[in-house]
């Protein structure tokens, strides 16, 4: 029984880390631009699908990872210039609807290019599962944990210790003040989408070996990322990570101990609960700290 619980915990942590990364990109874009990017899940999928194609050419996995991240980062920037930038000054609701449109278009594009097949990606490192306390830990999970750690460190380092990070932070806190110092908010929005694309792709390539990849998995990933971000209060980086891991563990335990059909329902129930009772997020204590 103990081993089974540990196994579920490992699965939950892996799932949770995936949700965390997606939530992190959502929160960062939201903090910086005020836009909730509902196409974030699509960035993840396109990243993974690109990796499938690149890997088919015989490229080593590390190169596949880098190229895919760069390509989707460019895609993110391109889409920002073509849509968000054109609509600058529009209401946040319009922006939200634009990102829904982007999400549907990208999914359609993925369907045209990669079809409805289910693809798989090879793991980053060779070798079988590591046995810890009687439960199996997939080495790919460790890569995913590492990705979360690197992303978090990178975000904290960037926002806390670099001049450009502080400029971005300043524009989050006070747009008028930032513009008067010469900070161009359009450039910052552009960079946010570039980062969202790159990070999304990194998540996609990392989870591919575990989850399999289909053109339409982005929607559900986006929703899970959103639930994780909402648990953390939508503008809190730390909260998004905790929210993601919490969600992953809950899903894993409820599907393992009760019924696997509950997996997706659980996140919807949490989302409804959070939005109805704690719209400012469950993690209240660290709520004040944006980015």
Partner 1 sequence: MLRIKNLGVYHGYVQAIRELSLEVKEGELLAVLGANGAGKSTLLGTVAGLYKPTAGEIIFKGKPITGQKPEQVVRQGISLVPEKREIFSALSVLDNLMLGAFHRYRKNKPVLMNDIQEILELFPALKGRESDQAGSLSGGLQQMLAIGRGLMSRPALLMLDEPSIGLAPLVVREIMSILVKLKKTGVTIILVEQNTKSALKVADSVLVMERGGITHSGNSVDIIADSSIQEAYLGRAR
Residues lying near partner 1 in the complex (CB under 8 A) are found at 163, 166-167, 169-170, 173-174, 176-184, 290
Task: Supply the minimum distance, in Å, between the C-beta of residue 90 and partner 1.
Answer: 17
Instruction: Find the shortest distance in angstroms from Cβ 197 to partner 1.
Output: 25
- Closest approach of Cβ 213 to partner 1, in Å? 40
Judged by beta carbon, residue 71 or residue 291, the one nearer partner 1 is 291
Q: In the chain, what is the greatest distance between 2 CA atoms, to the nearest angstrom?
A: 61
Please say which residue, 133 or 289, places its beta carbon nearer to partner 1. Answer: 289
Q: Minimum CB separation from partner 1 for residue 159, in Å?
A: 10
Residue 232 DSSP code: T
Full 3-state SS string of 256-282: HHCCCCHHHHHHHHHHHHHHHHCCCCC
Shortest distance (Å) from residue 168 CB to partner 1: 11
Q: How far apart are CA 124 and CA 112, in angstroms?
A: 28
DSSP helix, strand, coil percent of the chain (3-state; round to 5):
75, 5, 25
Our CB check for partner 1 shows the closer of 107 and 169 to be 169
- Identify the sign of the CA torsion 272, 273, 276, 282: negative
Q: Which of residues 86 and 179 has its CB atom nearest to partner 1 in the complex?
A: 179
Could you tell me how many helices (H) and strands (E) the chain has, helices first?
Answer: 11, 2
56 vs 289 by CB, closer to partner 1: 289
């Amino acid at each position: 029984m103990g081993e089974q619980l540990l196994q579920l915990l490992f699965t939950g942590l892996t799932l949770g880390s995936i949700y965390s990364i997606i939530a992190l990109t959502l929160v960062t874009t939201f903090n910086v631009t005020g836009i909730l990017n509902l196409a974030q899940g699509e960035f993840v999928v396109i990243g993974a699908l690109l990796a499938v194609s690149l890997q088919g050419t015989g490229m080593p996995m590390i190169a596949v990872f880098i190229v895919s991240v760069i390509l989707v980062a460019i895609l993110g920037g391109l889409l920002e210039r073509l849509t968000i930038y054109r609509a600058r000054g529009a209401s946040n609701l319009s922006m939200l609807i634009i990102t829904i449109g982007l999400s549907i278009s990208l999914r359609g594009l993925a369907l045209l290019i990669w079809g409805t097949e289910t693809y798989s990606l090879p793991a980053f490192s060779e070798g079988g599962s590591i046995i810890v306390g009687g439960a199996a830990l997939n080495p790919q999970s460790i890569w995913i944990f590492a990705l979360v750690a690197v992303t978090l460190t990178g975000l904290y380092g960037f926002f806390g210790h670099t001049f450009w990070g502080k400029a971005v932070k300043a524009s989050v806190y006070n747009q008028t003040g930032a513009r008067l110092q010469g900070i161009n908010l359009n450039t910052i929005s552009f960079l946010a989408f570039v980062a969202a694309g790159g990070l999304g792709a990194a998540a996609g390539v990392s989870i591919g070996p575990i989850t399999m990849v289909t053109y339409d998995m982005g929607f559900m990933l986006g929703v899970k990322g959103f639930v994780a971000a909402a648990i953390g209060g939508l503008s809190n980086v730390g909260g998004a990570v905790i929210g993601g891991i919490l969600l992953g563990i809950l899903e894993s335990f409820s599907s393992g101990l009760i019924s696997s059909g509950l997996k997706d329902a659980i996140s919807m129930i949490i989302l409804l609960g959070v939005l109805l009772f704690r719209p400012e997020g469950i993690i209240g204590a660290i709520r004040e700290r944006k980015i």
